[in-house]
Amino acid sequence: MEKAVLEQTLATVHALLSSEGMTEAAELVRTYPASAEQTGYDNWNGGTEIWEVQISVPAREFVRLGAKRSQLEEQISARIKTVLESDTQDWYAAKILPERERRKDWRTENSGIPLDVRNNILDSMRLELVAWNGALDDVEFLSRLYDLHALPSHDNRFKDAAADIWQHRVNNDDWDQDWIFSDARFFLKDGPTEQFLRFLCECVHPVVRPDREEAVKLVSHFNDQLRQVGWEIYEIEQIAGRPRFAFRAMTNHGGRAVLRAKTVADALDAGWMAKEIERLENGIDRDPALAIGTAKELVETCCKTILTKRGVEFTKSDDLGDLTKKLTKELRLVPEGISEEAKGAENIRLILRNLTQLANNLAQLRGLYGTGHGRDGKHRGLQPRHARLAVASAVAFIDFVSETYRQRENTKAE
C-alpha cells in the first residue's frame, strides 16, 4: 500500500473511531506512526494479499496498554475493513507493536543511567553555573575519587593526569570550568553507574560544598533526573551538622502499586481509571503532590465505575464518604458465614474508611506543603515517600472492592 493511500485510510479510520466514541483507539491512530507490511498471500478465491497495518508505540506505552491491545487492534482493524472493502479484496489487520529503539547508547542503560539523563544532569550544572569542584581545586577534588598519578596526561610535557590538570586548571587556567564532563579519562558519560553517582555525591560532600542549602538544592536537581531511571541520592549521615550523601537504587514500591492498579483497571474496563493511573505513574517521583491528589481521584473513580456497573445511582454532590458507603452496602462488604456479622461489618467499614481517609487527608496536605505561598528556605515539601503511601493505600482499597465486585458478578452469573 502506498504511503499516501495509507494516510488517507488512517485519517478515515480516525474519523470513524472518534465518531463512535472509541477515543483511545482514535488517539492511537492519530498519534503514532504506522506502516503497511504484506505478511502473507492466500491463493483461494483468485488470490488475496494479507497485510498488517503496524502501529509503532513507545515501549512504555506498549506496556501500559497491556491486555487492552487486542481490543484496540480489533476496533482499528474493523474500521480499516470498512474503509477498504469496496476497493480491494485484500485482507488488512491492525497490529500494535513496540517502537524500535534507535539510540546508539542503549547498552549503557544496563548500568542504570542512560546518556540523556547524564547529559541533563551535567547540563543543569552548566546552566546554574555550578562549580563541580566546590571549595576545592580540581586536583584536590578529583584525587578524592581517582588515582590521578595512574591516569595519563593529555599534555606530553607531563607524565600523569595530576600534573596535566594542575598545569591547565591552576597554573595556566586555560581549560573551561566544565572540562571534566567530556574528558574520556573520567568516564562520566559512558562509564559505570556507580562511578557517575560517586562523582555527583562528591560534588555535594560537606568538605567540597560547605553551604548546606546549596548542597540540598543540587541534590534535588540531581534526583529530578535520577528518579526517572530508578536511582536517588539521599542523606546518609551528618558531618559537623552538614549532610553527607550516598546513592541507592530505588525500591519502587509505588511502581508495584501502580502495576497492580493497572490490572484492576483492565479488569473493570475503566478508561477513566487508566488515565488517572498514568498520572500516578508519572507523578510519584516527579510530582508527589499530584500523585497524592490523583490517588484520591482514583478511589473515587473506582467507586463510581463499580456503582455504575451495578446500576446504583449517585449524584455529583456525593463525596468520597458517600460513595464508599453506597459501595459497601451494594457489595455487602461483610465476610459471610461468620459469627457476630454486625461487628465484622463495622470493622470492615472502619478499615475501608481509614484507607479512603488516608488518601483524602494526604491530598489536603498539598495546600499546606505544596509549592508557592512564599515558603522560607527551610521549607520541605511533600516527598515521593508520601506519594507512595497514598498510592499504596488507594490501590489496597480498589484492589479489595474490585475483587469483591468480580466475585459478586461471578456468583450472579452462576
Question: In terms of Cα–Cα distance, which of 258, 225, 272, 229 is closest to 64?
Answer: 258
Kindly state whether residues 111 and 240 are assigned to the same domain: yes
- Place 277 in a pLDDT band, splitting at 50, 70 and 90: low
- Residues of the chain with pLDDT > 70, as a percent, come to 76
Average pLDDT, the chain: 80
Shared-domain flag, residues 47 and 70:
yes
- Segment 192-236, tens digit of pLDDT: 888 999 999 999 999 999 998 899 889 988 988 888 788 889 888
C-alpha cell at 248: 541507592
Single out the residue in 98, 128, 159 at which a domain terminates.
98
Least confident segment among 105-119, 145-159, 200-214, 292-306? 105-119
- Only one residue has cell 477515543, namely 23
Shared domain for 53 and 126, answered yes or no, is no
The residue among 271, 279, 127, 132 whose CA lies nearest residue 198 is: 132
Asked if residue 156 and residue 88 are part of one domain, the reply reads no
pLDDT at 380: 56
- C-alpha cell of 380? 520541605
Q: HSE of 95 in the Cβ direction (CA atoms, 13 Å)? A: 15
Task: Identify the band that residue 347 occupies on the pLDDT scale cut at 50, 70 and 90.
Answer: confident
Angle, helix 3-19 to helix 23-31, in steps of 10 degrees: 160
pLDDT at 376 over 50: no
* Closest to 25 (Cα-Cα) out of 79, 76, 64, 82: 76
Could you tell me the residue range of the domain that residue 139 belongs to? Answer: 106-249
* Least reliable range by pLDDT among 29-33, 132-136, 248-252, 292-296: 248-252
Question: What does the alpha-carbon distance between residue 126 and residue 119 come to, in Å, rounded to a whole number?
Answer: 10
Last residue of a domain, one of 66, 98, 130: 98
* Residues 225, 152 within the same domain: yes
Q: Indicate whether 88 and 147 sit together in one domain.
A: no
- DSSP string for residues in 270-316: -HHHHHHHHHHHHHHHH-HHHHHHHHHHHHHHHHHHHHHHTT----T
Grid cell 473506582 is found at 302
Q: Alpha-carbon distance 254 to 116, whole Å? A: 24
Q: How far is CA 4 from CA 1, 35, 41, 79, in A?
A: 8, 11, 23, 18
Last residue of a domain, one of 226, 249, 272: 249
Q: What is the pLDDT of residue 378?
A: 46
Round to whole Å and give the CA distance between 106 and 144.
30
Same domain, 375 and 301: yes
For residues 230 and 321, membership in a common domain is answered with: no
Same domain, 75 and 116: no
Number of domains forming the structure of the chain: 3
Do 134 and 203 share a structural domain? yes
- Both 19 and 32 in a single domain? yes
Q: What's the pLDDT at 134?
A: 94
- In this structure, the answer to whether residues 264 and 408 fall within a common structural domain is yes
Phi-psi sector, 112: left (phi>0), alpha (psi -120 to 50), beta: left
Amino acid at site 134: G
